[in-house]
A and B are shown apart, each in its own frame.
Chain A
Amino acid sequence: MRRIVLAGLVAASPLATADSNHYNNMLIGDRASGMAGAYTSISDDPSGLYYNPSGIVFAGARNFSASVNAYHVSSTRYKNAIDGHEWERTSSSLLPNFFGVIQPLGKGIVGFSYAVTDSIIEDQDSHFTATSLGDFYININHRDVTNKFGPSYAYAISDKLSIGATLYAHTRNYKLIVNQLTQDTALGSYRLVNSYQEASEFGMEPVVGVMWSPADKVSLGLSVRKTTITSSSAGSQTITSSDAAATATVDSASDDSKRKLPTETRVGVAYFPSNRLLLSADIMHYGATQASGDAYLAKQAVTNLALGMEYYPTRSWAVRAGLYTNHSNTPSLDAAKTTMQEDHIDMMGITLSLTRMTRTSSITGGIGYSRGSGEWQNEATMPIKSVDADSLTAYLSSSYSY
């Protein structure tokens, strides 16, 4: 009985499905989310702890906290997956995905924040009948969450220049359970594959940032970060049974290789033409990374862009909007290649939020939507097909100064 192979479920190694192809999946921060994350040269509130910690010395209040609760859904639709049928994978999660607090300490400002930069929770079952191989059933339980948390400190060198740093602890937990059954009742044959994979990693991510105002109403920001995984463990167990064998086969694999994550450099510029309007732009560059063990493939360099805007039509209301890119770190698919190739989907997103302010607090409701299309391949040397994906985040956040 031939195997049906679906994207992302069988790869060069049972564990390579733990790899991740995008760096900008989740909007982070209260004010920053509405501005598509173009925040490196603003960062003057707790959201800044994530983007550019040096900005917090310019916060409007010295004691400040912010938190975000988000509902995040995403969907990827693989065209022509099986006998011309499309296969859709969806994920949805509801989570508090950011919290930050700052307060004065000594001559500078100290802060603490946590951010959930990736959250996938996928629970689904699909059923394809009467394919060329019979009936095909698949159910998936997939969880992949990345958390960062840690302290920050920033110091103003002058009223125009500041430096800051954040030290994040990075944790990631990944689990994938897939059950696949192919059976042809007419022929009386079947094949059942149950696969369990999990990976967890822990690392440190120092972030260093600087903020400079070269001219009135203009701010430039720069932050650099790199996550170094200090410990990692991944394992899998695959049980296969079919009518062709009297006993089931069990394949186990484990891999302790540490994923290599790129150096991320963010450069931003912000223009504050009036006390109602703010415009900003960020460029984020992620370096290329090497493969590690069997689980993690080499990744290409990625450059993402974000543009954001904030406008106050009245003293108590603010509207924020932005555009951003979320490009894939995998190479474009090449029909000539003979090894397995990963999905390549470049995404683009738009954000919009509405905030009600008082002088010391704010509540924001916002959405972010991203969409992209690309290519995928069931298995090495098989035809390259198209895939499209989108994701939606709806969030409610608040900030409070005291």
Chain B
Amino acid sequence: MRRLLAILALTVIGTPLSAWSNDFRERIHATVADTNTIEADTIAEIEFGREVAARILGSNRLLRNEEFTHYLGLVGNRVARNAGRPELVWHFAVLDTSAINAYTAPGGYVFVTKGALQQMDDEAELAAVLAHEVAHVTQRHIVKALNIKGADNTTTGSLARLVGSVNESTRTAFNQAVDGAVQILFEKGLNHSDEFQADQVGITLLANSGYDPMALVRYLSRIGEAKSESTRVLTMTHPAVTQRLDLLNTLITEEKLADMAGQRSRTRFVNNLDTHGFNSNNTGEQP
């Protein structure tokens, strides 16, 4: 009997992770939304994202170079308009720090550090990093983790609150959610499967926008060897680079992405960096 229990226990605990997702529990009222709900949700997401973005900019100095930021916006939007969130207006900006990282706030705010830019070799690599961040927003990783939803002002919602006599302090809950998001970005990181998903989706976005999908692999390999202090926050909040590369390479082989001829636009990229005084540290590879 005891052996039977042991075998049962091992079977139960050993069930492979992510062979299927737990989404089968979600009922249709939660999965399919109507236009009004999408709009309410998006407003809630953008409102929330702005608070998070403002905090990111509070603790990291913004690099105020209009021309370069516009260039960044062109690269970012070129990738983002191939993502499945046509309702968002995307904003891209540079943070003036030597740390190597990129941040996203829900609602379409993406920040990349000067340190990261200086590690990049060509525009495709920049697009790759932005694509990974765009993927976090596309897949709603942060809002799902914190359960950000639009306010429910329908009759049913009001009646439900009346019948249930629930008292809520929305502002407190909201503030806590914002703190939660900041914590996720700077300390805890999203869970690893979210990061792997962002890599996966990111590389698809790259391919779809005409960029060379191998760029993400090249960039990750390079920063995997970078100085440890500048990648401190990155290492804390993301899974190990080797693990990410393994999964990416599997995907690339499956999708035969290496065969695809994508743009790298090295010249344009290097020109933009030099013109705006980024002093690229990279000696550069042959395009």
Residues of B within 8 A of A399 (CB): 160, 164
- A159's partner among B21, B154, B157 (CB-CB below 8 A) is B21
Number of cross-chain contacts by CB at 8 Å? 122
Q: Restricting to B98-120, which residues have a CB under 8 Å from any CB of A?
A: none
Closest chain A residue to B161, Cβ basis: A400
Q: Closest CB of chain A to B74's CB: distance in Å?
A: 36
**A160-B29 in contact (CB<8A):** no
On whether the beta carbons of B156 and A356 are closer than 8 Å, the reply is: yes
A205 at the interface (CB under 8 A from B): no
Instruction: Kindly state whether residue B59 has any CB partner on chain A within 8 Å.
Output: no
Q: How far is the CA of A157 from the CA of B17 in the complex (A)?
A: 11
Q: A159-B17, A159-B21, A358-B156 are in contact. Are A318 and B29 (CB under 8 A)?
A: yes
Whether A359 contacts B29 by the Cβ 8 Å rule is: yes
Beyond A315-B34, A359-B37, whether A58 also contacts B157 by CB under 8 A is no
Q: Is B163's CB within 8 Å of the partner chain A?
A: yes
Interface residues of A in 380-402 (CB under 8 A from B): 396-402
A292 at the interface (CB under 8 A from B): no
A399 to B159 alpha-carbon distance, docked (Å): 10
CA distance A360 to B153 in the complex (A): 10
Q: Which residues of A contact B18 (CB under 8 A)?
A: 159
Q: A316-B29, A361-B157 are in contact. Are A161 and B164 (CB under 8 A)?
A: no
- Distance (whole angstroms) from the CB of A6 to the closest CB of chain B: 40
A281 interface residue per 8 A CB criterion: no
Taken residue by residue from 158 to 170, chain A's Cβ proximity to chain B (1 for < 8 Å, 0 otherwise) reads as 1111000000000
CB-defined contacts of B34 to chain A, threshold 8 Å: 315
User: Using a Cβ–Cβ cut-off of 8 Å, how many residues does chain A contribute to the interface with B?
Assistant: 48
B33 at the interface (CB under 8 A from A): yes
How far does the alpha carbon of A356 sit from the alpha carbon of B27 in the complex, in Å?
Answer: 13
* Interface members, chain A 108-161 (any B CB < 8 Å): 157-161
Query: Across the interface, which residues of B come within 8 angstroms of A65, CB to CB?
Result: 164, 166
B1-38 interface with A by 8 A CB criterion: 12-13, 15, 17-22, 24-34, 37
Inter-chain contacts of B47 with A (CB < 8 A): none
Please tell me if B165 contacts chain A, counting CB pairs below 8 Å.
Answer: yes
Q: How many residues of B contact A (CB 8 A)?
A: 37
CB <8 Å contact, B26 and A361: no
How far is the CB of A274 from the nearest CB of chain B, in Å? 8
Min CB distance A394 to B, Å, is 14
Q: A65-B166, A361-B161, A398-B163 are in contact. Are A158 and B15 (CB under 8 A)?
A: yes
The answer, yes or no, to whether B152 is at the interface (CB within 8 Å) is yes
**Is B147 at the interface (CB under 8 A from chain A)?**
yes
- Tell me how far the C-beta of B154 lies from the nearest C-beta in chain A, rounded to whole angstroms: 5
- Smallest Cβ distance from B210 to chain A, in angstroms? 35
Closest B residue to A217 by beta carbon equals B24
Check B31–A400 contact: CB distance below 8 A. no
Residues of B with C-beta under 8 A to A60: 25-27, 30
A360–B40 Cα distance when bound, in Å, is 12
Q: Is there a chain B Cβ closer than 8 Å to A278's Cβ?
A: yes
User: Mask for B196-232, Cβ within 8 A of A = 1, else 0?
Assistant: 0000000000000000000000000000000000000
Stretch from A79-87, A208-216, A294-302 at the B interface = A208-216
B243, CB-defined interface residue at 8 Å:
no
Q: Which residues of B contact A363 (CB under 8 A)?
A: 156, 159-160, 163
> What A residues does B283 contact at CB under 8 A?
none
Cα distance A160–B13 when bound, in Å? 9
Mark each residue of chain A from 212 to 254: 1 if its CB lies under 8 Å from any CB of chain B, else 0.
1111110100000000000000000000000000000000000
- A220 to chain B minimum Cβ distance, whole angstroms, is 9
- The reply to whether the CB of A326 lies closer than 8 angstroms to some CB of chain B is no
Q: Are the C-beta atoms of B164 and A62 separated by less than 8 Å?
A: no
Let me know if A396 and B12 touch, CB within 8 A: no
Q: Is B152 a contact of A358 with CB atoms below 8 Å?
A: yes
A361 touches B27 (CB 8 A): no
Q: Are B27 and A276 in contact (CB under 8 A)?
A: yes
Q: 22 pairs across A/B with beta carbons < 8 Å? A: A60-B26, A66-B164, A67-B163, A69-B163, A157-B13, A159-B21, A159-B22, A160-B15, A216-B19, A217-B24, A219-B25, A275-B27, A275-B28, A275-B31, A275-B32, A278-B27, A357-B156, A358-B154, A361-B152, A361-B154, A401-B147, A402-B170
**Residues of A bordering B, CB below 8 Å:** 42, 44, 58, 60-63, 65-67, 69, 101, 157-161, 212-217, 219, 272, 275-276, 278, 310, 312, 315-316, 318, 356-363, 396-402
B residues with a Cβ closer than 8 A to A are 12-13, 15, 17-22, 24-34, 37, 147, 149, 152, 154, 156-157, 159-161, 163-166, 168, 170, 173
> What are the 5 A-B residue pairs with the smallest beta carbon separation, nearest first?
A361-B160, A216-B20, A398-B163, A398-B160, A357-B29
| Further pairs besides A217-B24, A359-B37, A361-B154: 18, Cβ < 8 Å | A65-B164, A65-B166, A158-B15, A160-B22, A161-B15, A212-B12, A214-B15, A275-B27, A276-B28, A315-B28, A318-B29, A359-B152, A360-B152, A361-B160, A362-B160, A396-B163, A400-B164, A402-B170
